[in-house]
Amino acid sequence: MRKRLLEWLACPLCRKKLKLEIFLQEEKEIVEGTLQCLCGQQFPIISGVPRMLHGTLKKNLVQVYPNFFLRYRDQLDETFVSEEDVMIRHKQKTIDRFGYEWTHFNDYDCDNFNAFIKPLPKNFLKGKLGLDIGCGAGRHAGQASKQGAEVVCVDLSEAVDMAYKNNIGNELVHVVQSDVYNLPFNTGNFQFIYSLGVLHHLPEPERGYQALIPFLREEGALFIWLYAYAPRKVALEILRSVSQKLSNNNIRRMAYMCNLIDYGIFVNMYHFMCSLPFLGRLVNRDTFIRFKEYKEYGFRVGYIDWFDRLSAPITNFYKKNEVRKWLTHSGLSDTKLLPVGDSWWWLYGERKI
């Protein structure tokens, strides 16, 4: 964490300013410390990342980062805020699944960020401050920074450790561990907010979407990718009914077997048909996006995607009329709703005050 991040951070419960206490600093990076609020909350900075969690989710940090709390025992004392048990269980399972995914598969290198920002004007990100919701291992924030944006990236899970590591030394990327429903920022902070393939995994996806809007500046833009409804995706729920009963390691094995069939038969068949003179052009134009990606990036990307599909605790799919309601309820202006193949919806809107 760098001190610049304090300009935008606030207590997620009361929105008051936070007081920084530094325990360990290496050059510009605050490696260990705490952020304190007058309301009684304390938020530890562990391994360079502020952990802006409260209640049960903060208590879980003691198990994940025991050495920090052994060194700074006073960090165990704070005012805890309780949440509904059902919501906490969803969040804890999300932390477990996605934390495992982006720690174990941190080499995922499929570049879908350029496709994600393709509908935006050229140089849209340049010189702006943005927020990346559900950053995973932080590759999208890194790509946005290369286009001249400064980005604060947020994830609920320990994936933030990989996001921090993957962007170490990049002064345009800041990493925060936080809950989308309780974001730790001043309102009106960001010139753009994006979320690529994350919100449909929330227990209440539209609530998560609407929760982002107050953090936009005037004229700020919110754009996301959201799963589109497709029969093949609904059929996948049969496999997920099995995978959700398995451990992360066994889901990984199941994903490998699924990808052996998927890649071994369908992707290789697509690869072969693309080599044919006339048929190749038709197939390349009309086939699923994922076949094109797997043909380009190889077996491992398909394997990781299968793990993602099978491991996510919650997955929602949306029809066009459903996502239109999201935009209507948002109060955003200049809204756009575009399909991305049969896989995604691209939602866009701007905040006018």
Tokens coding 235 = 């059929």
Interacting residues of 290 by C-beta distance below 8 A, sequence separation 6+:
302, 305, 343
| Strands 190-196, 129-133: pairing kind | parallel
Quick one: pLDDT at residue 326? 97
Angle between helix 320-330 and 205-212 (nearest 10) = 30
Quick one: pLDDT at residue 252? 96
* CATH number among 3.20.20.190, 3.40.50.150, 3.30.2320.30, 3.40.50.300, domain 113-229+317-350: 3.40.50.150
Cβ-defined contacts of 305-308 (< 8 Å, 24+): 305/110, 305/259, 306/255, 306/256, 306/258, 306/259, 306/262, 307/101, 307/105, 307/251, 307/252, 307/255, 308/101
288 CB burial (10 A radius; 0-12, 13-18, 19+): middle
318 CB burial (10 A radius; 0-12, 13-18, 19+): buried
Quick one: pLDDT at residue 24? 97
Tally the C-alpha atoms within 13 A of residue 110's C-alpha that lie toward its C-beta: 22
Specify the DSSP element, H or E, that contains 174: strand 173-177
**Structural domain boundaries of the chain?**
3-82, 113-229+317-350, 243-311
Quick one: pLDDT at residue 82? 54
Quick one: pLDDT at residue 180? 94
The whole model's pTM is what? 0.91
Quick one: pLDDT at residue 264? 84
Q: What is the pLDDT along the chain (353 residues), one digit of tens a residue?
A: 999 999 999 999 999 999 999 999 999 999 999 999 998 889 999 999 999 998 888 888 998 999 999 999 888 765 555 555 567 778 888 889 999 998 889 888 888 899 999 999 999 999 999 999 999 999 999 999 999 999 999 999 999 999 999 999 999 999 999 999 999 999 999 999 999 999 999 999 999 999 999 999 999 999 999 999 988 888 899 999 999 999 999 999 999 999 999 888 887 877 777 777 776 666 666 556 667 777 777 889 889 999 999 999 999 999 999 999 999 999 999 999 999 988 899 999 999 97
Quick one: pLDDT at residue 249? 96
Q: Using CA atoms, how far apart are residues 312 and 310, in angstroms rounded to an integer?
A: 6
Q: Report how far apart, in Å, the C-alpha atoms of 54 and of each of 79, 215, 241, 258 are.
A: 9, 20, 31, 38
Q: Report how far apart, in Å, the C-alpha atoms of 143 and of each of 123, 138, 340 are.
A: 13, 9, 20
Quick one: pLDDT at residue 84? 58
Q: Report how far apart, in Å, the C-alpha atoms of 134 and of each of 1, 32, 63, 109, 179 are.
A: 18, 23, 22, 17, 9
Quick one: pLDDT at residue 265? 85
Q: Using CA atoms, how far apart are residues 216 and 233, in angstroms rounded to an integer?
A: 32
Q: Using CA atoms, how far apart are residues 353 and 341, in angstroms rounded to an integer?
A: 33
